[in-house]
Structure 1
């Protein structure tokens, strides 16, 4: 029985490597590449499986790259539902400069979508969510492909209704639509964003925990979501609902790669909610679980995501504070 459904509209083959130094001009000799299936929802599903969950993942795949992507999903513990699209699934490249420790992340666009593809995808998500049963947790994570309307997350929230607990972690025009044009019948349960995205929405720096919480609670009051989570890097994450303001901070860990920290957070957070009845969400427990998984993810190389053993060891060392 699946406990989580993830949706990836713009998946990618993630290719990671390293070089002694990254500089313009000369040919750069890279290490043997590591290739993994990626994209927000796919990474959430892979992390959830590593944490002991039983995720089902919808991914829009096309072409030879899409076929390779599907093959790489074998053995991940994720049940894959392929959604065929015309064109080629995109590829992303991450290269680490060993001289500086810096990491360069190059993101490519995906294939163009049409209104017909959108409608078919929306129907598939509703069908898959219904198969999980009442109180399903659905994660829509990652960027949207070219041609998709900015309001797709809201249309999906409206179609799923209150019984379909939707977590949205997106960017660009889709995120802008959620926060600038909220609708009471089209709000997800949870909206998650990183610090850069939250500062873009605020139009100013958010220098401390209180500033991030103020923005999160203002977005809840505006109707963008019932719960808003904002990541603050090494400071952890904050969470606000209409009645709660929480901050979870991880312990200090060695940072090897920041890739996958947000997706690992969302995986652990969503799995925690999946164990609760709708309306009985334990936000504090979910925030702590996500914070531990995010910290575990930065300890792993490339795009490996979190390890369950690391997350379990880190969790008791995370701190939780209720904020005024």
Structure 2
């Protein structure tokens, strides 16, 4: 299996609680919180571990909350490469209203980064990127980090002979599209991010494939994956286009579905699967994740059960 490095520059300690009802101007009697280490790359490493794979998590941590992130990762058994963050690691909270099933997510910003801290992190990541392996950047960028960080990472890792997978959004995604850098190997976007970047609705799988193919032609990535929610996922390369149909499953929480997809896809590639098969594994992992509560990710037994129901077709 190829080695995997995940990158999380804005990790969090995720707290998950429930309350009988969430209403204003009153004390809410909540459940005891479940506590998990969070952030895109960390979640990818957690899901890879659940699926029987291994990875190393490059995590920027600071203060007592950062110490807790490292302790939680060590308890899971995930290899850790800590980097000193320029401030206290953030916390986030997911609150579920048991009367309605509505879920509320409170996401803190994290510490402010300087260009000097960013350059130190880039240098450390380049040294850590596994030659012949996979490097995954996933999750939100911390305050102060320039929008072109994913583009800078693509430029620096192009010399490292590591495959770069990006799961990013917002201004960073817009900047990546304009940057004249070597393409990432894989770029993933969720459906809302893709429509925002396209500037139009993507009503069909063919629309999504057309837009993904345009990003490949623009040199953003060699393979572009667009999530289509409950429908599944679409992927385009310079040579072909595929659609992976998602199985119909009961939805408990959509938190972590994207990270579970990246984990299933990345692990399949690391084990030597071709791109269409990796797309199928990612789709099964995402479907399994929505069946679990709050910040829980996919479960291996669910992925195994759902995998035969994920069908690949050419577009």
TM-score, with length taken from structure 2: 0.96
2:15 is the alignment partner of 1:23: no
* Count of residues paired in the alignment: 314
> Deviation of residue 2 (structure 1)?
6.9
- SS of the equivalent of 1:214 reads helix
CA distance in 2, matches of 1:102, 1:267: 26
Deviations 1:61-120 (A, max 9, x none): 011111111111123231011101232101111111112211111111010111111111
Do residues 270 (structure 1) and 266 (structure 2) align? yes
2:181 corresponds to 1:152: no
Aligned to 2:35: 35
Runs of 4+ in 1 over 3 A off after TM superposition: none
Whether the 8 Å CA contact 1:247–1:321 is kept in 2: the answer is yes
Q: Is the 8 A contact 1:253 1:295 kept in 2?
A: yes
Equivalence map 1:116-265=2 (5 Å): 116-129=116-129, 132-133=130-131, 135-161=132-158, 163-179=161-177, 181-183=178-180, 185-265=181-261
Q: Where does residue 98 of structure 1 map in the other structure?
A: 98
State the Cα distance separating 1:182 from its structure 2 match.
Answer: 3.3
Equivalent-residue separation in structure 2 for 1:159 and 1:173 (angstroms): 20
Contact 2:86 2:117 in 1 (8 A): no
**Bigger Cα displacement from structure 2, 300-309 vs 286-295:** 300-309
Q: Is the 8 A contact 1:182 1:223 kept in 2?
A: no
- Structure 1, unmatched stretches of 5+, are none
User: Aligned-pair distance for 1:275?
Assistant: 2.5
> Could you list the runs of 5+ residues in structure 2 that have no partner in the other structure?
none
Q: Taking structure 1 as the reference length, what is the TM-score of the superposition?
A: 0.94
Q: Deviations over 1:3-46 (max 9, x none)?
A: 21000011111111111212222222211111100000000001
Identify the residue that residue 314 of structure 2 maps to in structure 1: 322
2:277 is matched with which residue? 285
The 3-state SS of whatever aligns with 1:96 is strand
Query: Secondary structure at 1:186's aligned position in 2?
Result: coil
Query: Are the aligned partners of 1:2 and 1:55 in contact in 2 as well (CA < 8 Å)?
Result: no
> What is the alpha-carbon distance in structure 2 between the residues aligned to residue 159 and residue 182 of structure 1?
13
Equivalent position to 1:295, from 287, 298, 308: 287
For residues 121 and 256 of structure 1, what CA distance do their matches in structure 2 show? Answer: 36
> Aligned-pair RMSD on alpha carbons?
1.4
